[in-house]
Amino acid sequence: MRDLEKEVLLQHALDQGCNVWVIGDVHGFFESMEGLLGQLELEDGDWVVFLGDLIDRGPDSFGALNRVQATPNFTTVKGNHEAMMVENFTERKMSQPDMDSLLWMKNGGDTTVTSYVRHFSGGKGFAHETAMYERIRLDCKWINSLPTHLVLDRWRLVHAGYHPEQELDGQDDEQYLWIRGLFHRTKRPVDDRRTVVFGHTPTAGLPGYSTRDWGRVWRSQVQLRDGRPASIGLDTCLYHGQVGPALLTAFNLQTGETRQQQRVEA
């Protein structure tokens, strides 16, 4: 699903010389997200586009979702973790978990649930359950309205990527939200005119990179006709606990500049 109106606004911003910053997977590290946003020196007309996975793993998924929803000129594509939240963060599944909800919890959903509970209890017990589930319902409705990818004149913005053998605008969520190796290893551009900017897979796990490359932006060796990389990976992995930098990355579509924020939270 695309958002044609949002694509027009983003392209107009670029055509007018404004900055459009694309930010990789936040994963609930709200303070780190705020630190990076503070580096961007945003001006009127600038935009920030997140690549999905605002939630899970870090301590304040509620804060990250709220910030993006509440801020003009901020937008996001849907990530696989948002999709899991919609499917599993319901009153019924919280009281009677099934295998899918347990899998979501194991993959970071537990921290998202905790962030909502903390916000709606004020740290003093679980006193506002009705209000919490109403907010969850509204947040999930918003998530369901999100595009799975955004297509501009020179860029495609997507959470995971594209199946290289399928029509780009006719794929399903399994590709846009979940694909990994087939997209990463393709030997030709999936779009001859546009660089694909994506998250989802930590860049240390992308072709040619290893754990020595924690925190590095990944650029495909496959090139477009104009010499730009066919794809750019921005999930520099804010949540890992290995030796090496844990960084959140922003990439400027107008200038090609990158800025990074070291994880603030413990």
pLDDT digits (tens, 9 = 90+) for 227-260: 999 999 999 999 999 999 999 999 999 999 999 9
Asked whether the beta carbons of 17 and 26 are under 8 A apart, the reply is: no
pLDDT at 265: 97
pLDDT digits (tens, 9 = 90+) for 58-87: 999 999 999 999 999 999 999 999 999 999
pLDDT at 220: 98
Model confidence at 167: pLDDT above 80: yes
Number of domains, the chain: 1
Residue 190 domain-assigned (yes or no): yes
Please state the pTM of the whole predicted model.
Answer: 0.97
What gap in Å lies between CA 111 and CA 50, rounded to an integer?
A: 20
pLDDT digits (tens, 9 = 90+) for 26-38: 999 999 999 999 9
Domain extent for 216: 4-79+148-262
Model confidence at 127: pLDDT above 80: no
Q: Mean pLDDT throughout 95-124?
A: 93
Residue 137 domain-assigned (yes or no): no
pLDDT at 168: 97
Q: Mean pLDDT throughout 169-173?
A: 94
Model confidence at 125: pLDDT above 70: no
Residue 96 domain-assigned (yes or no): no
Asked whether the beta carbons of 203 and 220 are under 8 A apart, the reply is: no
Torsion sign across C-alpha atoms 5, 193, 46, 34: positive
Residue 113 domain-assigned (yes or no): no
Model confidence at 204: pLDDT above 80: yes
Residue 132 domain-assigned (yes or no): no
Model confidence at 123: pLDDT above 70: no
Here the CATH number for the domain that contains residue 14 is 3.60.21.10
Residue 154 domain-assigned (yes or no): yes
Model confidence at 128: pLDDT above 90: no
Q: What is the largest CA-CA distance in the chain?
A: 59
Nearest to 160 by CA among 57, 208, 231, 75: 231
Residue 166 domain-assigned (yes or no): yes
For the chain, the average pLDDT equals 96
Residue 85 domain-assigned (yes or no): no
